[in-house]
């Protein structure tokens, strides 16, 4: 019992040491302002930073894969326009998803600063985490199907209602999944365009319930971001200490 408690305390302490770097940035996708129409291209861009929707400079080579799904779950046409911009051309009526990931990797804290590697060969390593950063934009259409489909990401947020049918003052129920199963007790943070121009400021924070469900209050029209972070011990502690997953769901509220 004491040994288990000591391990828990040490792990939590380590998380506090490495958390600032781990939680500093999010990856997200910016859905278009236009309503989707079959055959009409719209632009979807990738955002990176800690002050949604303002994006910071990001290495485009680290982004991928970027893909889109139609309302039936089939791949949709998504063409790269250069940099972090993409063009989606719907071939079906209904809601679509745009998805992106940041190249996963290790980050280890040392007396000389952070190094993009695991602890192997670093005698003075003070903490290590492996990061997995992904984002999903829901391009929602009022009254249409496809808003609740799953993308199959390892950590995922799945809305349980169509945001295009909601308004400020409503709640959006969302399901938090890890490896396809509901994930309970994880922190969920939300913000919207215009809420704050300061980093890491959120309009609301909560956590998923025993069924992995969270009810997100919608406070204003326009671009919305919901973010979830999940951390667990790395399976090889001699190599790294923590697995850190971050996922964002973005959409526009009428």
Q: What is the pLDDT of residues 133-175, one digit of tens each?
A: 999 999 999 999 999 999 999 999 999 999 999 999 999 999 9
pLDDT tier at 242, thresholds 50, 70, 90: very high
Distance of alpha carbon 58 from alpha carbon 47, whole angstroms = 8
Cβ distance 229 to 186 under 8 Å? yes
Q: Tell me, what's the pLDDT at 77? A: 92
pLDDT tier at 222, thresholds 50, 70, 90: very high
Give me 3's structure tokens. 């040994």
Does the pLDDT value for residue 22 go beyond 80?
no
Give me 226's structure tokens. 């919901």
Q: Tell me, what's the pLDDT at 200? A: 87
How far is C-alpha 216 from the chain's CA centre? 15
Mean pLDDT, residues 71-84: 93
Neighbours of 177 (CB within 10 A): 22
Tens digits of residue pLDDT in 83-119? 999 999 998 999 999 999 999 999 999 999 999 999 9
pLDDT tier at 24, thresholds 50, 70, 90: low
pLDDT tier at 25, thresholds 50, 70, 90: confident
Give me 20's structure tokens. 């600032």
Does the pLDDT value for residue 10 go beyond 70?
no
Better-scored residue on pLDDT, 175 or 3? 175
Those residues with Cβ within 8 angstroms of residue 198's Cβ, 6 or more apart along the chain or in another chain:
51
Does the pLDDT value for residue 4 go beyond 60?
no
pLDDT tier at 16, thresholds 50, 70, 90: very low
Distance of alpha carbon 173 from alpha carbon 164, whole angstroms = 13
How far is C-alpha 48 from the chain's CA centre? 11
pLDDT tier at 9, thresholds 50, 70, 90: very low
Q: How many residues does the chain have?
A: 254
Does the pLDDT value for residue 19 go beyond 80?
no
Could you tell me whether strands 187-192 and 204-207 are parallel, antiparallel, or unpaired per DSSP bridges?
antiparallel
Could you tell me whether strands 113-115 and 213-217 are parallel, antiparallel, or unpaired per DSSP bridges?
unpaired
Task: Name the one residue in this structure whose structure tokens are 């209602």.
Answer: 161
């Amino acid at each position: 019992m004491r040994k288990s408690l000591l391990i828990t305390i040490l792990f939590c302490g380590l998380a506090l040491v490495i958390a600032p770097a781990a939680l500093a940035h999010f990856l997200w996708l910016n859905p278009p302002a236009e309503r989707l129409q079959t055959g009409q291209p719209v632009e979807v861009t990738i955002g990176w930073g800690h002050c949604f929707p303002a994006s910071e400079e990001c290495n485009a080579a680290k982004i991928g894969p970027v893909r889109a799904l139609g309302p039936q779950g089939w791949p949709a046409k998504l063409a790269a326009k250069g940099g972090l911009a993409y063009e989606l051309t719907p071939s079906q009526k209904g809601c679509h998803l745009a998805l992106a990931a940041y190249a996963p990797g290790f980050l280890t804290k040392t007396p000389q600063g952070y190094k993009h590697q695991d602890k192997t060969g670093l005698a003075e390593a003070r903490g290590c985490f492996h990061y997995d950063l992904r984002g999903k934009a829901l391009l929602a259409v009022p009254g249409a199907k496809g808003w609740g489909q799953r993308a199959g990401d390892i950590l995922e947020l799945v809305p349980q209602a169509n945001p295009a049918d909601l308004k400020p003052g409503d709640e959006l129920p969302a399901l938090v999944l890890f490896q396809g199963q509901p994930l309970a007790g994880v922190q969920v943070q939300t913000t919207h365009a215009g809420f704050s121009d300061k980093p890491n400021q959120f309009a609301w924070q909560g956590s998923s319930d025993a069924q992995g469900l969270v009810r997100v209050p919608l406070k204003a029209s326009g671009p919305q971001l919901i973010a979830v972070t999940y951390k667990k011990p790395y399976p090889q502690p001699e190599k790294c200490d923590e697995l850190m997953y971050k996922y964002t769901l973005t959409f526009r509220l009428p």
